[in-house]
C-alpha cells in the first residue's frame, strides 16, 4: 500500500505545476459556465458567473472614461444572474422598502399625500426593488407611476422583461445617467405644476426648485456607492422630491466615530462605528469592483436632507460581517420654520404660543428666556445651515431631542432598569383625580403610569427620565397603541412576547417612533420579544430580579405551589397555599442570612439605596420590632419585606385583582389580571389619533426639565419614591423642592411615596410653601395599596409661591445631577 508521501512529489517545481493545473481547471470551469448559451442556470452556475464577472473578466470600459461603458462591462456578463447572486450580499433592501412603505402609508392616511404617489428608484437595475415592494404595497394600485432609472442597458433590459412578465403598466424603465434624469420630462403633471410655480423665474431647468418637486418617494439601493460623481445625484433628489416626500437609501459603508461624533442630526450612532481593520479591508476589497465606501457619500446625504430614521447593521456574509446602513430621510426644510419650532417648543416648556389653541393665557415677557434644550439645538443647526436633529422630522413630536453622547445617558449601558412600573395606578387615580385641564409631570419608569394618566386625558403629560432606554420603552408602547390592534398590543405587553416583533416594528411601528428609539428596538427587540421562554418582563434590571425569584422557587421545590397561588380563585384558597408552604420558606433563617441579610442583595437586587435603607431601619427601631437574629440592615429590610408580602396575599386576589405580584411570579400578565392600560376598553381610547397629542417625553434630570419650564404651569407632579434617595445632610432635596414650587401653580400637587412613615424631607416641603398631608399609611396586617411596597403616601400642595429669582439662583448653584435622576436613573 502506497504512503501519501510516495504519491505527492516533493519537488517545489512539481508542486507549483500541480497548483497551477488545479487553478487552471477551476478558471476554465468558470469561463465555460459563464460563457455558455443563455437559459436557465443553477445556483452554482449563477455564483460562478458572478465570480467570473467580478474577479476574472477583463473590464473593457476602463479606457473610455465613460461610466456607462464601465458599468456595462461589469454587468453585461452577469445581468441574468444578478438577482440570484445578490440575495445574500445585498441585505437590508426589503427592510428599507418596508420602512419607506410604512412612511408613505402613514402620510397618505394623515392627508400629507393627497394623490397617488410617484416613485423614482435611482440605480434600480433589474427592477428587483419594485417587485419586492409588492410585499408591502400594491405597486400597480398605490403608485401613479414608478420610474426605474439605471445607466446599464443590460440591467434595464432585464427590468423591462420583469415588468412585462408581471403585467405592471405603470412602471417606466429609463436608461439614463441619474444626474440628468428630470421628472418633468416624463411626468406631464409635474411639468405643468412646475411651469405654474416657476412662472416668471429665471431658472436653468424646471427641476431645480425643490418646492415644485413631484415624486413622493425616491430610493437608492446599493447604488450610491457605485456612482463616481455622487454630489450632483444627491443634489438632484431635492428637486425630484415633493414637499412631503420620503427618501430611502440602503448601501454599504465604513466609518470611524471621529467623523460623526460631533453631529446631532444623524439619527443615532448605535453600531455606526467600524473598526480600523474593517474600514481598511472593505474599502480596499470593494474598490476592485468600483464600489466606493468612503464615508463622504453617507455624510453628504445626511447633510443635504433631514434624517427620519437611520439603521447601522452588519451582514454576516460567508462568516464575515459586512457593514451596511439603511437611511430614511425627507426634505431638510420639512417642518423647519422657526414658527413651527417655537410652537412645538412651547408644548415642551409650557410657555404660551400665539398659535397654540390649547393655551388660554397670553405671552409673558419672561417667557422669551424659556427655551428647551431641543429648541436651542435646532436654532444652532439652522444658523449653521445644518439639518435639524432627527426628532424634529418625526411624524409625532412626543420625543424631545437629547444628546445621546452625554455620559449621564451612556452610564446605563443601553438598558432599561424597569420593564414594568411598581406603582398602583388605581390608587394614583383615586388620590389625584386628574382633570382635562391638568398639566402632569411624572417619572417615566416603564411608562405604565404615563399610559394610565393618558386615559384621563389631561391637557399635557411630561414624562421625564434620565435613562434613554426607559423612554424608548414608553415610545414603543405609545407607537403600539397608535398603530396596532388590541391583539398585537396584548402580545407585546400582556404576554410580553411577539413572534413577529421585527416585522411589525418595521412595517407598522416605525412611522411613529424617533430614530433613536427605532434603532434601539431594532437591535434589542427581537431578543427580548421573540424569545417565547422569556419575554419583555424578564429583560432589564427588574427582569434579573424576576429571573432570580424564579430560580429561588425552583431550588426550593416550590414552583408548583407558586402556580397554584397564581391560579387561586378565592382569597381563602390563596391564604391556604400561602400558609402551608410559601410563608414558612420566607421565614426561614437560610433565606434571612443568605439573601435579605446580604448587603449586596439589598443594593443590587432589591434596589434599596443607603438613604432609604436608613429610613426603614429608623422606623424598625422606633417601633421596637425585632426578629431575634441580630442587628443588621438585612433584618430591618427582611421584616419590611414580610410586612409587604403577607397583607397582599391575605387581602388581594392575585389571579384577578393584583397583577403586580402575579407578574413577579409568572413573568407575564393574564387576561383576568393586568394593568388598566391593557384592557380592550383602554385600547379603544388610547388608539384614537389624539390620544397622545399632549405627551412630551424628556430625557433628562427632573431638575433640568423644571428649570426650563414656565413658572406656575404644572398642576400635578409624581416623583414616586425618588425623594427617598436624597441624603438628609445634603442640599439636593431643598433645591428640587424649591424648583417644584416654582414650576407648580398655586394648589398644584406633588404626590410621593416613601419607605418611611414620616420622611425627613416632608419638613423641607413645608418650609418651602407646601402643605403636606399623609394620604395613606401602611399598618401591619393591611395594604396601603395593591403594591403595598411603601410605608406612606403623601400629597404636598403648593400654598405659597417662593421668589422666582431665589429659586433660579438656587438651581444654578451646583449640579443636582446624579441625585435627582428619577427612579430609573438609580442603578
| CATH number assigned to the domain comprising residue 192 | 3.40.50.150
Element (H, E) at 443: strand 439-443
Segment among 168-177, 195-204, 338-347, 358-367 with least mean pLDDT: 358-367
User: What pLDDT was estimated at residue 714?
Assistant: 96
User: What pLDDT was estimated at residue 461?
Assistant: 97
Residues 163 and 138 in one domain: yes
Element (H, E) at 716: strand 714-718
Residues 246 and 371 in one domain: no
Would residue 751 count as lying in a domain? yes
Segment among 188-197, 353-362, 512-521 with least mean pLDDT: 353-362
User: What pLDDT was estimated at residue 226?
Assistant: 87
Of residues 175 and 195, the one with the higher pLDDT is 175
Residue 824, pLDDT above cutoff 80? no
Within 10 Å of residue 603's Cβ, how many Cβ atoms?
13
Backbone angles phi, psi at 485, to 5 degrees: -75, 170
Would residue 477 count as lying in a domain? yes
Q: How many residues does the chain have?
A: 827
Residues 46 and 92 in one domain: no
Query: Can you read off the three cell numbers belonging to residue 93?
Result: 433592501
3-state secondary structure 615-646: HHHHHHHHCCCCCCCCCCHHHHHHHHHHHHHH
Backbone angles phi, psi at 823, to 5 degrees: -55, -45
Within 10 Å of residue 599's Cβ, how many Cβ atoms?
12
Within 10 Å of residue 598's Cβ, how many Cβ atoms?
16
Query: Which residue has cell 397564581?
Result: 566
Which range marks the domain in which residue 46 is found? 4-62
- Tell me the C-alpha to C-alpha distance, in Å, between residue 540 and each of 490, 524, 528, 533: 20, 11, 9, 15
Per residue in 587-596, pLDDT tens? 666 665 566 5
Segment among 271-280, 311-320, 611-620, 750-759 with least mean pLDDT: 611-620
Model's pTM, two decimal places?
A: 0.85
Would residue 129 count as lying in a domain? yes
**pLDDT tier at 362, thresholds 50, 70, 90:** very low
- Tell me the C-alpha to C-alpha distance, in Å, between residue 821 and each of 171, 267, 468, 746: 55, 24, 12, 25
315 near 91, Cβ under 8 Å? yes
Which of 198-207, 348-357, 420-429, 500-509 holds the top average pLDDT?
Answer: 500-509
Strand locations in 222-300 (E): 241-252
Q: What is the DSSP string of 61-130?
A: TTTT--HHHHHHHHHGGGGGGHHHHHTTTSTTHHHHHHHHHHHHHHHHHTTS--S--EEEEET-TTSHHH
Would residue 421 count as lying in a domain? yes
Residues 6+ apart with CB under 8 A from 80: 38, 41, 49, 158
**pLDDT tier at 12, thresholds 50, 70, 90:** low
Residues 229 and 367 in one domain: no
Residues 385 and 446 in one domain: no
Would residue 502 count as lying in a domain? no
- Tell me the C-alpha to C-alpha distance, in Å, between residue 353 and each of 344, 439, 599, 695: 9, 16, 52, 17
**pLDDT tier at 359, thresholds 50, 70, 90:** very low
Q: Mean pLDDT throughout 186-205?
A: 57
Residues 105 and 219 in one domain: yes
* Domain stop point among 291, 316, 331: 331
Share of the chain above pLDDT 70, in %: 77
Instruction: Give SS3 for 241.
Output: strand
Number of domains in the chain: 4
Q: Mean pLDDT throughout 609-637?
A: 67
Per residue in 627-647, pLDDT tens? 444 455 556 777 777 788 889
User: What pLDDT was estimated at residue 416?
Assistant: 92
Residue 306, pLDDT above cutoff 80? yes
- Tell me the C-alpha to C-alpha distance, in Å, between residue 340 and each of 184, 312, 346, 469, 730: 31, 30, 10, 28, 42
Query: Which residue has cell 466606493?
Result: 292
Per residue in 697-721, pLDDT tens? 999 999 899 989 999 999 999 999 8
Strand locations in 203-333 (E): 215-221, 241-252, 305-317, 320-331
Would residue 565 count as lying in a domain? no
Per residue in 420-437, pLDDT tens? 998 999 999 999 999 999
Residue 286, pLDDT above cutoff 60? yes
Residue 800, pLDDT above cutoff 70? yes
Residue 688, pLDDT above cutoff 50? yes
Would residue 510 count as lying in a domain? no
Strand locations in 183-304 (E): 215-221, 241-252
Residues 220 and 97 in one domain: yes
Residue 1, pLDDT above cutoff 60? no
Residues 350 and 462 in one domain: no
Per residue in 251-267, pLDDT tens? 999 999 988 888 999 99
Residues 749 and 791 in one domain: yes
Of residues 558 and 105, the one with the higher pLDDT is 105
Nearest to 459, CA basis, from 444, 441, 442, 439: 439
Within 10 Å of residue 533's Cβ, how many Cβ atoms?
7
Of residues 610 and 417, the one with the higher pLDDT is 417
Residues 386 and 322 in one domain: no
Residues 274 and 133 in one domain: yes
Residues 297 and 355 in one domain: no
Share of the chain above pLDDT 90, in %: 53
Would residue 321 count as lying in a domain? yes
Residues 6+ apart with CB under 8 A from 708: 349, 370, 371, 372, 373
Amino acid at each position: 500500500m502506497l504512503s501519501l508521501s510516495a504519491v505527492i512529489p516533493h519537488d517545489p517545481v512539481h508542486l507549483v505545476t500541480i497548483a497551477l493545473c488545479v487553478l487552471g481547471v477551476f478558471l476554465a470551469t468558470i469561463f465555460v459556465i459563464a460563457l455558455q448559451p443563455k437559459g436557465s442556470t443553477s445556483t452554482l452556475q449563477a455564483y460562478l458567473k458572478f465570480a467570473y464577472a467580478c474577479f476574472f473578466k477583463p473590464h473593457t470600459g476602463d479606457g473610455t472614461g465613460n461610466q456607462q461603458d464601465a458599468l456595462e462591462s461589469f454587468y453585461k456578463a452577469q445581468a441574468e444572474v444578478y438577482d440570484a447572486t445578490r440575495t445574500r450580499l445585498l441585505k437590508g433592501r426589503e427592510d428599507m422598502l418596508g420602512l419607506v412603505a410604512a412612511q408613505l402609508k402613514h402620510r397618505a392616511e394623515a392627508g400629507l399625500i393627497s394623490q397617488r404617489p410617484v416613485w423614482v428608484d435611482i440605480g434600480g437595475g433589474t427592477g428587483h426593488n419594485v417587485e419586492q415592494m409588492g410585499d408591502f404595497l400594491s405597486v400597480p394600485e398605490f403608485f401613479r407611476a414608478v420610474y426605474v432609472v439605471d445607466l446599464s442597458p443590460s440591467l434595464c433590459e432585464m427590468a423591462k422583461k420583469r415588468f412585462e412578465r408581471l403585467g405592471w403598466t405603470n412602471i417606466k424603465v429609463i436608461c439614463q445617467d441619474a444626474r440628468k434624469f428630470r421628472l418633468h420630462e416624463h411626468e406631464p403633471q409635474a411639468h405643468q405644476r412646475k411651469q405654474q410655480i416657476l412662472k416668471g423665474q429665471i431658472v436653468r431647468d424646471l427641476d431645480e426648485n425643490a418646492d415644485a418637486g413631484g415624486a413622493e418617494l425616491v430610493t437608492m439601493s446599493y447604488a450610491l456607492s457605485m456612482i463616481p460623481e455622487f454630489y450632483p445625484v444627491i443634489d438632484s433628489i431635492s428637486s425630484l422630491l415633493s414637499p412631503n416626500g420620503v427618501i430611502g437609501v440602503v448601501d454599504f459603508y465604513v466609518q470611524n466615530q471621529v467623523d460623526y461624533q460631533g453631529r446631532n442630526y444623524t439619527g443615532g450612532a448605535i453600531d455606526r462605528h467600524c473598526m480600523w481593520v474593517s474600514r481598511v479591508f472593505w474599502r480596499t476589497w470593494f474598490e476592485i469592483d468600483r464600489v466606493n465606501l468612503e464615508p463622504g457619500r453617507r455624510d453628504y446625504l445626511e447633510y443635504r436632507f433631514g434624517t427620519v430614521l437611520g439603521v447601522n447593521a452588519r451582514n454576516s456574509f460567508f462568516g464575515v460581517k459586512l457593514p451596511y446602513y439603511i437611511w430614511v430621510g425627507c426634505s431638510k426644510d420639512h417642518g423647519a420654520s422657526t414658527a413651527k419650532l417655537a410652537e412645538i417648543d412651547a408644548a415642551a416648556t409650557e410657555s404660551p404660543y400665539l398659535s397654540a389653541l390649547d393655551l388660554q393665557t397670553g405671552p409673558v415677557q419672561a417667557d422669551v428666556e424659556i427655551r428647551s434644550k431641543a429648541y436651542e439645538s435646532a436654532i444652532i443647526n439652522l444658523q449653521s445651515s445644518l439639518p435639524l436633529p432627527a426628532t424634529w422630522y418625526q411624524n409625532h413630536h412626543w420625543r424631545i431631542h437629547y444628546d445621546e453622547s452625554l455620559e449621564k445617558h451612556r452610564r446605563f449601558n443601553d438598558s432599561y432598569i424597569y420593564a414594568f412600573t411598581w406603582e398602583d395606578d388605581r390608587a394614583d387615580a383615586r388620590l389625584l383625580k386628574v382633570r382635562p385641564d391638568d398639566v402632569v409631570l411624572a417619572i417615566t419608569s416603564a411608562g405604565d403610569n404615563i399610559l394610565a394618566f393618558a386615559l384621563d386625558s389631561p391637557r399635557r403629560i411630561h414624562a421625564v427620565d434620565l435613562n434613554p432606554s426607559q423612554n424608548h420603552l414608553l415610545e414603543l408602547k405609545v407607537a403600539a397603541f397608535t398603530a396596532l390592534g388590541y391583539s398585537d398590543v396584548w402580545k407585546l405587553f400582556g404576554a410580553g412576547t411577539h413572534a413577529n416583533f421585527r416585522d411589525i416594528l418595521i412595517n407598522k411601528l416605525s412611522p411613529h417612533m424617533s430614530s433613536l428609539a427605532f434603532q434601539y428596538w431594532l437591535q434589542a427587540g427581537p431578543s427580548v420579544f421573540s424569545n417565547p421562554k422569556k419575554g419583555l418582563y424578564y429583560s432589564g434590571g427588574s427582569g434579573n430580579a424576576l429571573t432570580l425569584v424564579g430560580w429561588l422557587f425552583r431550588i426550593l421545590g416550590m414552583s408548583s405551589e407558586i402556580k397554584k397561588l397564581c391560579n387561586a380563585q378565592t382569597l381563602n384558597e390563596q391564604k391556604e397555599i400561602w400558609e402551608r408552604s410559601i410563608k414558612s420558606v420566607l421565614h426561614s433563617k437560610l433565606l434571612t442570612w443568605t439573601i435579605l441579610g446580604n448587603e449586596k442583595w439589598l443594593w443590587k437586587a432589591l434596589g434599596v439605596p443607603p438613604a432609604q435603607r436608613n429610613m426603614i431601619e429608623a422606623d424598625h427601631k422606633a417601633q421596637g420590632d425585632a426578629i431575634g437574629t441580630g442587628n443588621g440592615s438585612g433584618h430591618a429590610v427582611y421584616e419590611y419585606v414580610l410586612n409587604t408580602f403577607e397583607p397582599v396575599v391575605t387581602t388581594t386576589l392575585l389571579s384577578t385583582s393584583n397583577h403586580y405580584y402575579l407578574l413577579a411570579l409568572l413573568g407575564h400578565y393574564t387576561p383576568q389580571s393586568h394593568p388598566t392600560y391593557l384592557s380592550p376598553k383602554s385600547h379603544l381610547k388610547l388608539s384614537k389619533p389624539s390620544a397622545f397629542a399632549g405627551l412630551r417625553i424628556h430625557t433628562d434630570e427632573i431638575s433640568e426639565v423644571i428649570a426650563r419650564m414656565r413658572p406656575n404651569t404644572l398642576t400635578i407632579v409624581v416623583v414616586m419614591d425618588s425623594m427617598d434617595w436624597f441624603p438628609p445632610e445634603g442640599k439636593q432635596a431643598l433645591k428640587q423642592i424649591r424648583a417644584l414650587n416654582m414650576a407648580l401653580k398655586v394648589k398644584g400637587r406633588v404626590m410621593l411615596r416613601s419607605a418611611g412613615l414620616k420622611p425627613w424631607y416632608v419638613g423641607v416641603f413645608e418650609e418651602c410653601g407646601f402643605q403636606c398631608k399623609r394620604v395613606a399609611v401602611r399598618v401591619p396586617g393591611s395594604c396601603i395599596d395593591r403594591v403595598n411596597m411603601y410605608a406612606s403616601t403623601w400629597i404636598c400642595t403648593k400654598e405659597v409661591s417662593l421668589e422666582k429669582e431665589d429659586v433660579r439662583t438656587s438651581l444654578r448653584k451646583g449640579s443636582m445631577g446624579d441625585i435627582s435622576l428619577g427612579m430609573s436613573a438609580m442603578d
